Amino acid sequence: MGQSPSSEKRKKALDDADYRLFRSTVAQQKACFGMDETKIWKYFDFGPHEATPLVCLHSTAGTADCFYRQFNELVGRGVRLVAVQFPAYSTHDEWIQGFDELLDHLHITKCHLLGASLGGFLAMLYARFHGSRLGSLFLVNSFYDNATLRAPLDQFDFSASFLLKRSILKNFATGNLEERIADSVDFMVDMIDSLSREEVASRLKLNCGEAYVGTPQVPEENITILETLDYNAVPEGLRAQLRERFPGAKVVYMKTGGDFPYLARPDEVNMNIMVHLRRVDEYYRGRTVAASSVAASSAASVPSTIAPAPAPATAPAPAAPVFVPAAAVAETAAPAPGSPTSPPPIPSTAVGDVESSAELPPAAPAAHVEEPSAPSPTAEPSAGAD
């Protein structure tokens, strides 16, 4: 009996040359702390170790793998990236302690946090208690208060795996989607399929359990909020609440990108990450904008037999600088006119103006329209934002 079209499509997403390049270049590592040997953190760590690392936290549906497009591009620009996948924790306090131990294990005294959806919420919780270890926050389609998402947590302990996963999948965008957005959804569906029942239940508990962010110990000017304006599982009310809570933060709007813009529109997201890092970190300020040798290599064919991934060492050598028109994104706070550091005017098709000293290639247009399959909602636990 043959595979369904949706299964073949997801298999094709994981067989993407960029993803295969990432997995053949960057080694997945594991760490366990305390007496419970089931609490295993998985992570990818790559880039120059003298750089302040950017630690990436996935959403309810994600894994550490979902940031592979950032590794392929940003490591060659001199960024040290650490993408983590946390184990099954039942409470926010356990997660905060476990993440703090992971940073100790990696000998990271100071870092920047990028959090997507639930990852952004957890990043803000960590910043409330351990803000001294953080230089900045980069929040993607995230939320500040989960009061409207709360649900009885006992239901997640006794629900079947397929019901828990379906409660997350039903929030994914469906219908006529751009090819790259549809591919990002397919990739995340495959990531959910790889998770155990305990892992999914844990993420739903962290997403829907009672917790208060309070006042993160990170200056507001060191916070960037990125939102997409097309498909977004986080309700507008929660996103507006986040913007109102941090009026001094930089807000970037992307016209398209769906729930997972770091997969669907990596060029735009990567550009804004570089702008953010240069604004908040002296190490990245003034660095030459060069094409990533890792990203450039993705254009070449990847052999079917993948060599064992090497241990994290240093970033690939950047290629010669290239300057091309920037991708269409927007940021609420633009540089003052006539400022010595202001970039030349850039036409914008999104909301507001672009504040950027980095110029990257625009995102590739969608080739055609596809409709990814999604399970029809039935009676199941509430998952909230993905």
Q: Among 71-80, 99-108, 343-352, which stretch is predicted with the lowest mean pLDDT? A: 343-352
**Chain centre distance of CA 42:** 15
pLDDT at 284 over 50: yes
Residues in the chain: 386
Task: Compute CA distances 263 → 18, 223, 238, 312, whole Å.
Answer: 11, 21, 23, 23
Q: Mean pLDDT in the chain?
A: 79
Phi, psi of 385 (to 5 degrees): -70, 150
| Higher per-residue confidence, 278 vs 300 | 278
Three-point CA angle 100, 104, 108, nearest 5°: 100
- Domain residue ranges in the chain: 5-370
Can you tell me the distance from the alpha carbon of 110 to that of 107, in angstroms, rounded to the nearest whole number?
Answer: 9
63-84 residue pLDDT tens: 999 999 999 999 999 999 999 9
CATH architecture of the domain covering 5-370: 3-Layer(aba) Sandwich (3.40)
Instruction: Check residue 306 and give its pLDDT.
Output: 35
3-state SS of 218-263 is: CCHHHEEEEEECCCCCCCHHHHHHHHHHCCCCEEEEECCCCCCHHH
Average pLDDT over residues 122-127: 96
Average pLDDT over residues 201-229: 94
Q: Which two tokens stand for residue 63?
A: 């894994």
State which H helix or E strand residue 167 sits in.
helix 161-169
Burial (CB count <10 Å: 0-12, 13-18, 19+), residue 181? buried
Q: Which two tokens stand for residue 356?
A: 């950027």
Q: Would you give the DSSP letter of residue 116?
A: E
Helix (H, G, I), strand (E, B) or coil at 178: strand
Helix (H, G, I), strand (E, B) or coil at 85: strand
pTM for the model stands at: 0.74
Average pLDDT over residues 235-248: 93
Can you tell me the distance from the alpha carbon of 73 to that of 310, in angstroms, rounded to the nearest whole number?
Answer: 18
In percent, the amount of the chain with pLDDT more than 90 equals 60
CB 216 within 8 A of CB 190: no
Can you tell me the distance from the alpha carbon of 325 to that of 289, in angstroms, rounded to the nearest whole number?
Answer: 13
What pairs with residue 46 in β-bridges?
Answer: 81
Average pLDDT over residues 259-263: 96
Q: Would you give the DSSP letter of residue 375?
A: P
Can you tell me the distance from the alpha carbon of 354 to that of 347, in angstroms, rounded to the nearest whole number?
Answer: 8
String of DSSP letters for 320-331? SB---PPPS-EE
| Higher per-residue confidence, 193 vs 300 | 193
Position 293, amino acid: S
Q: Would you give the DSSP letter of residue 142?
A: -
How many other CB atoms are found less than 10 A from the CB of residue 16? 16
37-66 residue pLDDT tens: 889 999 999 999 999 999 999 999 999 999
Q: Would you give the DSSP letter of residue 290?
A: B
In 242-361, DSSP assigns E strands to 250-254, 330-331
